[in-house]
Amino acid sequence: MKKDEKNIYLDYIYLMDSLKEYASPKSKLTQMIKSGEVIKVKRGLYLPGGGSWYSQKTLANKLYGPSYLSFEYALSHYNLIPEKVQALTSASYNKNKNKQFKTPVGFFIYRYTNPAVYPYGIVRMEEDGSPFLIATREKAICDTLSKIRGIGSIKQLEALLFDDLRIDKNELARLDTAEVNFLAGIYGKKIISLVSEYMKRGG
C-alpha cells in the first residue's frame, strides 16, 4: 500500500480502497496490523506504522469528538502547571459522558462539558502542519475548575490553585481578565466567578 502524506490519519474506507487490488482487503489489513505496517488506534481509525510521524494532539481531536484539548494537558501546554502530562485530556459534549481510550500510541481522556460552554475559548493551532483544537489558557483553567466542588471563597480558591493544582502565579497573571469574566457568565458556577473576581483584584 502506498502511503499518502496527506492521509496520516487513516480511516477504514480509505484503507479498503487502497487495498482493493487484494482478494481480501480485510485480511490484508489484519496482516498489516499484525506486522506493524499499520497501527490500529481504534475501530475505524488507523496510522501508518514503521515510525511514521503523526501528531498526538491532532489524533486526540480525531479519536473522539467533537472535542478540543483542555484540562491538565492544556495547562501543561501553556506552562500553567510544572508537570509534564502524559495523558491527553480533552473536553467533549458527546452523549453526556466521559470516555477513555488506551491505545498503542497514547492514553486519551475525554470529559463531558456543557454544550452551552463548549464553543467558546477554543483556538486552532498546528504541530508541524498538522492542525488541532485546544482551549485557550483561560478556558483550560475554567474547564479544570468547573469539575471541582466545595470552593466558596477566594482563600479556598488560592489554596486550590497554588497548593493543590500548583498553578504558576506568574503565568496565571497573564490570563485575559475580560475573557475569564466572559466565561464566568457562561459557566454560571461559583468557582469560576471566584476566579474572575480574583483576576479583577489583580491576584
State the residue range of the domain holding 131: 56-200
Does 186 or 50 have the greater pLDDT score?
A: 186
Average pLDDT rounded to a whole number, residues 5-34: 89
Please name which of 141, 135, 149, 133 lies closest in space to residue 199, comparing C-alpha atoms: 141
Q: Quick one: 65 and 26 in the same domain?
A: no
Q: Quick one: 30 and 88 in the same domain?
A: no
Q: Quick one: 82 and 166 in the same domain?
A: yes
- pLDDT surpasses 70 at 203: no
Average pLDDT rounded to a whole number, residues 132-153: 97
Q: Quick one: 44 and 87 in the same domain?
A: no
Q: Which grid cell is 134?
A: 485546544
2 domain-assigned:
no
- pLDDT surpasses 60 at 5: no
Cα-based distances in Å from 21 to 8, 9, 142, 154: 21, 21, 51, 66
Confidence (pLDDT) at 72: 98
- pLDDT surpasses 70 at 1: no
User: What is the rounded (10 degree) CA torsion for 153, 150, 99, 128?
Assistant: 20
Q: Quick one: 190 and 113 in the same domain?
A: yes
Confidence (pLDDT) at 91: 98
Confidence (pLDDT) at 95: 74
Q: How confident is the model at residue 189 (pLDDT cuts 50, 70, 90)?
A: very high
**What are the tens digits of pLDDT across the range 38-80?**
999 999 999 999 888 899 999 999 999 899 999 999 999 999 9
- pLDDT surpasses 80 at 102: yes
Confidence (pLDDT) at 6: 56
Confidence (pLDDT) at 4: 44
Q: Quick one: 131 and 76 in the same domain?
A: yes
1 domain-assigned:
no
Q: What's the number of domains the chain is made of?
A: 2
Average pLDDT rounded to a whole number, residues 100-108: 97
CA angle 143, 147, 152 (to 5 degrees): 105
Confidence (pLDDT) at 2: 42
Confidence (pLDDT) at 3: 40
Q: How confident is the model at residue 143 (pLDDT cuts 50, 70, 90)?
A: very high
Residue-averaged pLDDT of the chain: 93
**What are the tens digits of pLDDT across the range 159-177?**
999 999 999 999 999 999 9
